[in-house]
Amino acid sequence: MSGDSARISGSTRFIALIGHPVVQVKSPEPLNRWFDEHAAGAVILPMDVQSDRVGAFLEAMRATENCIGVSVTMPHKQAAFALADEVSDRARQVRAANILRRTTDGRLVGDMVDGIGMMTALEANGVSVVSRHVLVVGAGGAGTAIIHAAAEKGAAVITVIEADVARAREVVSGVSTRHPDIRVRTDLPASDTVDIAINASPAGMKPGDPHPFPLERLAGSTIIADVVTRPALTPWLVAAREQGLKIQAGAEMTLAQLSIQLNFWGFPAEAVQFSKRDRA
């Protein structure tokens, strides 16, 4: 960063980005560049917070006058939802929040925009979920948001792959209730083909992780997408590209939602443009 707004002073406001770990996060560099270029007098700071300390951390943010809000990454999105004072309908559907805004009286208002980010990134790659078969691996905060967003956009079939059977059934039930015309299930019959495959699980973050879903079942897919941002390309995406499949990296979903997040925090960002280096 450069310029006067890059200098921390007593008037600087901040957004805390919490997760565990946070070394993989991609949003601080482009957001801090935007704050600098627009003389916003604000910064976003990654903070590695253990799961059992999230409540105490957010309580401290309520009392911190120059805190604008909080950006939330894995594994704290469900906790952020539970601890928020008010949440959007979108967050309530998913029971998770990935952004919080601090009000002047210290209340925390939550929203969940991972699903919008994924849909926006897919559209930027020329892919629509309308009337398509979407497979999502992982029904945590991000995965459930993506599943609901795909349903809102008009997917024809959604397959949910989730090791936690109870969680998978809950997500399927929730989507089916809101969208009875969409076929939502937890298995992939051998005869079915997938148009869009999305990994919304942590698979691929650690060396030696198995692929989130067998690529041989996705040979005819239009695109293979991931939410993992470190490594920039997971082994699953690398293997998919080697097989000639179109891929979408995790950073693309993150960057696609930054304009929405800036607006949520009170910054008038109609269209934030990010360079290719932000996607590396």
Segment 126-169, tens digit of pLDDT: 999 999 999 999 999 999 999 999 999 999 999 999 999 999 99
Angle 248-145-203 from CA coordinates, rounded to 5°: 50
Residue 105 pLDDT class (50, 70, 90 cuts): very high
Q: What is d(CA 280, CA 278) in angstroms, rounded to the nearest whole number?
A: 6
Task: State pTM to two decimals.
Answer: 0.89
Q: 272 pLDDT band (50/70/90 cuts)?
A: low
Q: Is the pLDDT of residue 273 over 90?
A: no
Q: Where are the beta strands (DSSP E) in the chain?
A: 13-19, 42-48, 67-72, 86-87, 99-102, 108-111, 133-137, 157-161, 183-185, 196-199, 223-226, 247-248
* Cα–Cα distance for residue pair 7/108, rounded to 1 Å: 27
* Residues designated as active site: 77
Which has the closest alpha carbon to 223: 242, 251, 195, 250?
Answer: 195
Q: In this predicted model, what pLDDT tens digit does every residue of 207-259 receive, in sequence order?
A: 999 999 999 999 999 999 999 998 999 999 999 999 999 999 999 999 999 99
